[in-house]
C-alpha cells in the first residue's frame, strides 16, 4: 500500500485521520514506521481525526488556481492541492452536470475520458466553471512541465484534457513506483 499524502487512512465508516508530514519533499523515509510513531506519539485519535488543511479550503484553492507560479513536483503538498482542486472543480461543475445523459454515453470510457467529458461539459455550461477548469488544466500542465498549452476555454478540448489527465496519472504512477523501489532498496 502507498499512503497518499498526507497519509489519510479512512476507517470504515467515518472520517480519515491526518498524519502530517512537514518536510516538503516526497521521500521514501516518510513511509517508514518510525515516522508514523514520531508523528503520532503525542496525539490522540481525536486530535488526528479529520484535521482540515487550511491550504485546501475553497479560497486557498481559488488563490492557488489563480496564480501563475511554478510548483515543485517533488513537494507532496502540490499533489494534494491538485487532487483537492480537481475535486472542487468537479463539485462546481456537478451543478450543471446532466447525470442521466452522462450515464448512457459513458459505457466504455476510461476514468480520464469521464473526467475530461465532465470538465468539458462544465466549460460549455458555465463561464465561471469554464474559468476554473481552464486554470486547473493550466496548473496541471505547468506541473507536468508542458507549459500552458491552452490559453482559452475554446482551446480546452475534451481530447486535450484527457491527454493532460493521462499524463498526470502516468506521473503519479511513476512516483509511486519510484517510492516502492526505494523502499525495497532498489
Say what the pLDDT of residue 34 is: 76
* Alpha helix segments (H runs only) across the chain: 33-40, 45-48, 58-66, 76-94, 99-105, 111-125, 127-143, 158-183
Residue range 140-179, pLDDT digits in tens: 999 999 988 899 999 999 999 999 999 998 988 888 788 7
pLDDT higher than threshold 70 for residue 64? yes
Q: Is the pTM of this model over 0.85?
A: no
SS (H, E, C) 83-116: HHHHHHHHHHHHCCCCHHHHHHHCCCCCHHHHHH
Average pLDDT over residues 122-138: 93
Mean pLDDT for the chain overall: 78
Q: What is the DSSP letter of 70?
A: P
pLDDT for res 67: 93
pLDDT digits (tens, 9 = 90+) for 95-118: 555 454 454 455 567 778 888 988
Amino acid at each position: 500500500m502507498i499512503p497518499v499524502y498526507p497519509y489519510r487512512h479512512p476507517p470504515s465508516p467515518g472520517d480519515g485521520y491526518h498524519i502530517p508530514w512537514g518536510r516538503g519533499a516526497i521521500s521514501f523515509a516518510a513511509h517508514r514506521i518510525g515516522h508514523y510513531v514520531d508523528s503520532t506519539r503525542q496525539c490522540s485519535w481525536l486530535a488526528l481525526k479529520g484535521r482540515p488543511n487550511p491550504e485546501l479550503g475553497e479560497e486557498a484553492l481559488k488563490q492557488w488556481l489563480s496564480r501563475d507560479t511554478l510548483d515543485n513536483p517533488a513537494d507532496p503538498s502540490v499533489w494534494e492541492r491538485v487532487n483537492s482542486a480537481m475535486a472542487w472543480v468537479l463539485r462546481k461543475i456537478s451543478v450543471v452536470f446532466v447525470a442521466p445523459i452522462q450515464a448512457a454515453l459513458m459505457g466504455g470510457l476510461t476514468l480520464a475520458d469521464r473526467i475530461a467529458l465532465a470538465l468539458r461539459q462544465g466549460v460549455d455550461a458555465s463561464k465561471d466553471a469554464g474559468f476554473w477548469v481552464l486554470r486547473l488544466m493550466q496548473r496541471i500542465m505547468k506541473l507536468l512541465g508542458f507549459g500552458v498549452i491552452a490559453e482559452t476555454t475554446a482551446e480546452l478540448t475534451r481530447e486535450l484534457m484527457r491527454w493532460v489527465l493521462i499524463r498526470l496519472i502516468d506521473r503519479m504512477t511513476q512516483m509511486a513506483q519510484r517510492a516502492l523501489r526505494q523502499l525495497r532498496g532498489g
